[in-house]
Structure 1
Amino acid sequence: MTTREILRAYRVPLDPTDAQTAALASHAGASRAAFNWALGAKVHAHRMWSACVADLTYTRYGHLDADQALAAAKKDASRYYRIPTSQTNEKAFDRDPDYAWRTEVNRRSWVSGMRQADTAWQNWLDSLTGRRAGRRVGYPRFKSKGRCRDSFTLAHDVKRPSIRPDGYRRLTLPKKISVTGSIRLKGNIRHLARRIRRGVARIQSATISRAGNGWSVSILALETLDIPDHPTPRQRAAGAVGVDVGVHHLMAFSDATIIDNPRHLRAAQKRLTRAQRALSRSKWRLPNGDLIDAPKRGQRVTPTTGRIKARARLAREHAAVAQHRASTLHAITKQLATSHAVVAVEDLNVAGMTRSARGTIDKPGRNVAAKAGLNRSILDASFAEMRRQLTYKTSWYRSRLLPSGRFVPTS
């Protein structure tokens, strides 16, 4: 046996009261406001730094060649303008009289917003300089109400925990959030509560977010696991299995087992279409009370009650599809990780497989509609999510994940 510490997340839907729902929305808004405040400070400092670099390049270092002048100007400008971090922003935010409401919410909620701004900025820098793999990350954008998902993260002192189970169906949170001390769960956290009582798990943080089907909490716990040094007798008996993923069949195993593709998106397509049409037909309200179909750019409008309900209906349908898809993948990947000693999978370039066939104006693509349908089916099957789940589950259950070469003819 090998003792390891792992981070495991427990996601459970919440069943808040009306007062708790209002408190959750208030804390999510505080996190969003703090994110925008911190990002605004970073953007302002970055613009001042860029202007200083441009000025120094042509004045102080104009006698050097272009590359040397730019490098020297950047080094000099960094002495005068630094991008503020979350620690600096927290102190400045505490002194800002326009945000006096910060004392009405839990401090850790808006601090998490500032740290998200740090992460967004660092991701952009890493992508710009090539230190981050994957698709290029764009310049950080401000969060607007309605466009971004409502969420906030709460950390706590693990020695004096303010986030802890209250039985199996309730979760204790800070008083400003839970109002009554604890909040009811639609599911249960029996497994986590028992591990905490045995002293082999500690809650690190809790992220509360709102999706189409309501509020949910993701509890991040640090757990101590005893992982066998070798696969179990059942896994050794089953040996290795190869997994070929596809659209017609979700998975085909090398032992001739085939799992049909449930096609969650196609199954919900009628409901999604109706909900989207209802949202498209809904109205916007002008300041003078008149109703319009679609606002013009820069026009001040507010959504009508019908539009708010239609938007919530569409969000519920999309959330249900995502939940069904996740449940299917979790069941299959756990079965693979616990039943075999070696799991061989394809190393697929999903981003390349789902690239649009639209082409350009000079060279328009062909069969664009058919390729768009194939892209939807590939993304609905979630090949990358299946690979991600197998990566950590095989390490938990002492099996081994073996990715094949990207160009090996595994089918």
Structure 2
Amino acid sequence: MLIRKAFKFEIRPNGEQTRKIKQFCGCSRFVFNQALAWQNEQYEQDNQFKFSYTKIANLLPSWKKQWEWLKDCHSQVLQQSLKDLEVAFKNFFQKRADFPKFKKKGLKDSFRFPQGCKLEQGNNRLYLPKIGWVRYFNSRKVIGEIKNVTVSQKCGHFFVSIQTEFEAEIPTHKGGEIGIDMGIARFATLSNGVFFAPLNAFKTYKGKLAKLQKQLKNKVKFSQNWQKLKAKIAKLHHKIANCRKNFLHQTSNQISKNHAMIYVEDLQVANMSKSAKGTVEEPGKNVSQKSGLNRSILDQSWFEFRRQLDYKTQWRGGFLVAVTPQNTSRTCPCCGLVAKENRETQSHFECIECGYSENADVVGAINILTKGRLQLETVF
């Protein structure tokens, strides 16, 4: 089985290397924006004009003559920036993303080396073309052949993401099967009764974040105090994201390690978290309550949790099956009665036919497990 993995580390560049990294980020961003502007001009002249990486890549030599400082940047970094634009247009035409937008300085600054990088794990250093040997915090062993290296900047820190590729035998998973019900009060409830309490990272720091944003509103825009406070807010957002990622990785790792067959709800998170504001002619109902629910749903990161469960289960030789969530919390596991009255409260389930009583999330997980089994039987 071919496995692709990414290993992310924080690097410690010196002053000269820091300047080069920032310069490479700027050049990559400039070429991306220049190519997007050129593409938009061509499309205005000819509506049938389609994006072509080859055509835009042929413009790079003339751009280097026009802006000589682009020569200081590695040529492959500029080419990879155009590759990113090509992927952005593909995602747009296949309706997976919005139309590509111009990049802004300080937002997701990064660039990529497709080759030429070397790694010395024993000496805790990494070689980046035209930048040199850079020290990094060696927190784990890198396995496989290096395919590309992405350098990024976030909140004053620099990171490298090393993508590797290697062959591995498909292991035989010795775990059992489990159904998982996702929720707000309980992040994930298993069909055996075990549940994981939610972290609610955003909710924890929401008050502090609101206080900082209120202070930012009273500062003079682009002043030194405004920039310091904005950096502080970005750092807090970064902390919230890291807390959430750590929780998701730990939970998904624990579940995938102990269970070979995992059945989850096929939740459409984007539709579930849509705004209920409505229009002027038809205003929405319970807007404030729906807003709080949407915030809680997005704070849980259900889709990211399912994505992590999927690839981690495959690495260990297991399978993940998505099950339709319809009536999973209204169906009695004992007699099979489907009724809205079975679940009168959010947390309690009691069948009006046979009297079966249990936590509503546990009932949902059991029904997801049963549905998943039936779904596999029809397929095979």
Give TM-score, length-normalised by structure 2: 0.82
* Residue 162 (str. 1) matches residue 113 (str. 2): no
Instruction: Give a deviation string over 1:324-368, Cα, whole Å, max 9, x none.
Output: 101111111111111112111111111111010101101111221
3-state secondary structure, aligned to 1:361: coil
How far the C-alpha of 1:16 sits from its partner, in A, is 2.4
Q: Which residue of 236, 261, 264 maps to 2:198?
A: 261
3-state secondary structure, aligned to 2:254: helix
Instruction: Give a deviation string over 1:233-257, Cα, whole Å, max 9, x none.
Output: xx1xxx1111111111111111111
Give me the whole-angstrom Cα distance separating, in 1, the residues matched to 2:121 and 2:193.
Answer: 46
Instruction: Give a deviation string over 1:85-118, Cα, whole Å, max 9, x none.
Output: 2232222121233221121111122211111111
In structure 2, relative to structure 1, the CA distance for the partners of 1:121 and 1:402 (3 Å cut) is: closer
Instruction: Give a deviation string over 1:308-328, Cα, whole Å, max 9, x none.
Output: 211111111001110110111
1:65 aligned partner: none
Instruction: Give a deviation string over 1:203-249, Cα, whole Å, max 9, x none.
Output: 00011112236221111101221222x323xx1xxx11111111111
How far the C-alpha of 1:275 sits from its partner, in A, is 2.3
1:226 aligned partner: 169
Q: After TM superposition, what 4+ stretches of structure 1 lie above 6 angstroms from structure 2?
A: none
Which piece of structure 1 moves more, 329-338 or 83-92?
83-92
Asked whether the 8 Å contact 1:34–1:110 carries over to 2, the reply is yes
Question: What residue ranges of structure 1 are gaps of 5+ in the alignment?
Answer: 51-77, 196-200, 285-302
1:402 aligned partner: 321
Q: Report sequence identity in percent.
A: 29
Superposition pairs of residues 237-276 of structure 1, within 5 angstroms: 239-276=176-213
How far the C-alpha of 1:386 sits from its partner, in A, is 0.6
How far the C-alpha of 1:277 sits from its partner, in A, is 2.1
* Equivalent residues, number: 329
1:207 aligned partner: 150
Give me the whole-angstrom Cα distance separating, in 1, the residues matched to 2:327 and 2:78.
Answer: 49
Amino acid aligned to 2:76 = R
1:28 aligned partner: 25
1:88 aligned partner: 55
Superposition pairs of residues 34-113 of structure 1, within 5 angstroms: 34-50=31-47, 82-83=49-50, 85-96=52-63, 97-113=65-81
2:3 aligned partner: 6
1:121 aligned partner: 89
In structure 2, relative to structure 1, the CA distance for the partners of 1:116 and 1:335 (3 Å cut) is: same
Give me the whole-angstrom Cα distance separating, in 1, the residues matched to 2:160 and 2:311.
Answer: 21
Asked whether the 8 Å contact 2:119–2:125 carries over to 1, the reply is no
Asked whether the 8 Å contact 1:213–1:319 carries over to 2, the reply is no
* Residue 16 (str. 1) matches residue 13 (str. 2): yes
2:334 aligned partner: none
In structure 2, relative to structure 1, the CA distance for the partners of 1:402 and 1:36 (3 Å cut) is: same
1:143 aligned partner: 103
2:141 aligned partner: 191
Give me the whole-angstrom Cα distance separating, in 2, the residues matched to 1:217 and 1:17.
Answer: 15
1:357 aligned partner: 276
Give TM-score, length-normalised by structure 1: 0.76
Amino acid aligned to 1:120 = A
Amino acid aligned to 2:133 = S
Which piece of structure 1 moves more, 397-406 or 381-390?
397-406
3-state secondary structure, aligned to 2:150: strand
Amino acid aligned to 1:207 = T
Give me the whole-angstrom Cα distance separating, in 2, the residues matched to 1:281 and 1:98.
Answer: 42
Which piece of structure 1 moves more, 274-283 or 4-13?
274-283
Asked whether the 8 Å contact 2:209–2:233 carries over to 1, the reply is yes
Amino acid aligned to 2:145 = R
Question: What residue ranges of structure 2 are gaps of 5+ in the alignment?
Answer: 330-363, 365-380
